[in-house]
Structures are given as C-alpha cells and as structure tokens.
Amino acid sequence: MAPKHSRRNEKGTGRGLLVVACVFVVLAVVILGLAMTGNLRPLVEQAFPDVFGEADAGSQQGTDESPSTAAALEPKSFADYSWDELSQISAKIAAAGTDEEGFEIAREYNLADASGLPVDDARKVVLDDNTLAYARIVGFRHDQRSDGSGTAGMTLMLSMLSEQPMEASNTNDGGWEASSLRAWLASDGLSLLPDDLANRIVRVDKPTNNVGITSDPSSVTQTADDLWAFSAVEVCGQLTWFEDEFSSEISYTPGLDAVLNAEGTQYAYFSASGVNGETGGHENALALTYRGSARPWWYRSAYPLNYADTGSNAYFFRASETGYPSSVGQANATSGVVVGFCL
C-alpha cells in the first residue's frame, strides 16, 4: 500500500495536468480565432488546409446571394420599387417557362394588369445633368439578350434623355449602326443615367436597316445595344406608309415597307395605347416633351427611299412634336432622344 502522502501527490498531479490542459485548449481557441482574421492566418491555413478550405467554401456560398436577393420582395407600385428590385423581378420574368407565366409574375408584382399588359404608370428619373425624365414599362419578354442567355424580362422607355442629331453630317448611310446618335448613347448618353439604373441595364439585340437606302429586307441586321432608339414598327406596328403614298406611281419600288416591318415588332404598351401608323393613340401617347417643351423624337429607322436626285438620302423617321407617328427629319437636325432599355 502506498503511503497516504504519495496518493495525495498523485491526485494533486492529475488535477494539475487537467488545469494545464484546459488552459492550452482555451489559448488554442483564442489563437485560432485571431488567426482567422489576422496575420497568422496564412500559417494556420498551411497547417490545417482542409479545415480552412471547407470554411472558405461555406463563406463563399454565403456571399453569392445578397440579403435583398434572398429576401422575398413585397409587391408595391412601379414607382416605389428600387432599380435593384425591378432588376430582380425582371430576372424572374425572364426565367419563367412561358410568356403567360412571365406575365403572371409581372401581375404578382403590380407591373402588369389582368391581361398581362404593362401598367400605365411612369416614374421620375433625375439625370446627371438635372434633367427630369420619365421611365415606363413597354413590354415583357420582348427582347433577346446579346450574350445569348435568352429573353430579357422587362423593356422600358425613358423620355426624353436629350436633344441630339442622328448624324453629324447629313446622311443616313450605314443606318442606325453607323449613326452618331448610337455612338453618343453608348457613351455620354449612358453616363447621364443614375448609377443604380445604368449598372442594371441588360444589353439586347436590335434589328435595323443598317444600310440606309434599300428595298431589300435582308439589309436589316442586328446591333447589340444598352440604350437604343425605337424603330418605327416597334412603336407603330405593321406599316404600309410607302404603299399608301407611292403605289400608284410608276416609279414605286415594292419592299420599302417590308424593310421597315423587319425592324422588330410592336411593344405591348404602344399597342394598348392605340398607336398605329396613322395615329398617336389614346391621350396622344407619342406627344412627348423635353424640359417641358414638345419635341419631335427619333426612330432608329432610316428613310429607305432616295428622296433627292443626288443619289443620296439624308432622312430618318421620327414622331412629330404633336404626337403624329410618321414624320421625317434630316439626319443632322436636332430631335428628341427617347430610348429603350432592358433590365
């Protein structure tokens, strides 16, 4: 039998070792915690690569969704949504399996009426030059994304952004694709938009007569644009302007209306507003203002007929300041800039 004092020493030694072990565990936890954010992290990562690899993977997964994306959006009026929220809703509409399912999502968020048409509501947009413009929804699932990822959920109209010529010189050669206005919109025009809007715009493909004078519908090709002027057919629907005006003349060239009609399809907002090739629709939907004054505004559609004896043309179509849907303007003249864009 061991002496009593020897058993007490053994018991005391065991307690001492337990206390020391606990202290080391606490210190290890503290050091590891500091290492996660401090300068010791690289050394600890090398010692425990598997542990840190798993932690980082979990952390990265958490950052893929922002709080606003993860949270359910509450329906409200069009003007009360942030541009971030509208972008999220547009993505949901784009991801829908069918157009009807997309329209149902738009209805759920008060952006479409019972028939799936865009709500007749506009929201104020203060541009960087302190001009007050107005944005409204003109269609859902209408435009194709330029990156090939499918349909853009929502298309909007912004009016008026500025007053600009379509071309620096008096020509429509090269059409919209080569125009000065298209170049201006891609740079100075885009910079006028608030950042929270500009950063959420989705680039889409726009079909346009990019030749100028032509009666061949194959002259219509695609451009990829963030901001773009509407084509005549996107605003007015199927057109017979040239047939109506020139078909009785011996020199009439068939195909001119076909060129215009190949530049897209009419947006739901303009159709619902009663706009066609002869009228600006209910409540004169095409009569728009810039800084409080009525202005004609450009379509991106070049006038495809040789209007002069010189062999060159200098006109683009536009809506008149009174809201009449069909007028023309010299390419180097100033008209209002009304743009479309997608979220």
Average pLDDT, consecutive stretches of 10 residues, N- to C-terminus, the chain (343 residues):
36 41 42 42 42 37 38 89 98 97 97 95 97 98 97 98 96 96 98 97 98 95 98 98 88 91 98 96 94 96 78 84 96 97 98
- What is the Cα gyration radius of the chain? 31
**Does 175 share its domain with 33?**
no
Among 64, 85, 107, give the residue marking a domain's end: 64
**Does 56 share its domain with 146?**
no
pLDDT value for 164: 98
Please report whether residue 261 resides in a domain.
yes
**Does 53 share its domain with 123?**
no
Please report whether residue 90 resides in a domain.
no
**Does 142 share its domain with 51?**
no
Please report whether residue 100 resides in a domain.
no
Please report whether residue 110 resides in a domain.
no
Among 44, 64, 84, give the residue marking a domain's end: 64
**Does 278 share its domain with 145?**
yes
Boundaries of domain holding 296? 116-342
**Does 128 share its domain with 219?**
yes
**Does 146 share its domain with 40?**
no
pLDDT value for 47: 44
**Does 143 share its domain with 56?**
no
For residue 158, list its beta bridge partners.
Answer: 135, 339
**Does 194 share its domain with 304?**
yes
pLDDT value for 307: 64
**Does 186 share its domain with 38?**
no
Please report whether residue 105 resides in a domain.
no
Closest alpha carbon to 257 in 296, 231, 285, 279: 231
Among 28, 45, 64, give the residue marking a domain's end: 64
Please report whether residue 220 resides in a domain.
yes
Please report whether residue 300 resides in a domain.
yes
Please report whether residue 102 resides in a domain.
no
> pTM value?
0.79
**Does 166 share its domain with 284?**
yes
pLDDT value for 205: 98
What are φ and ψ of residue 156, in 5° steps?
Answer: -125, 160
The answer to whether residues 139 and 111 touch, using CB atoms and an 8 Å cutoff, is no
pLDDT value for 51: 39
Count of structural domains within the chain: 2
pLDDT value for 20: 38
**Does 28 share its domain with 132?**
no
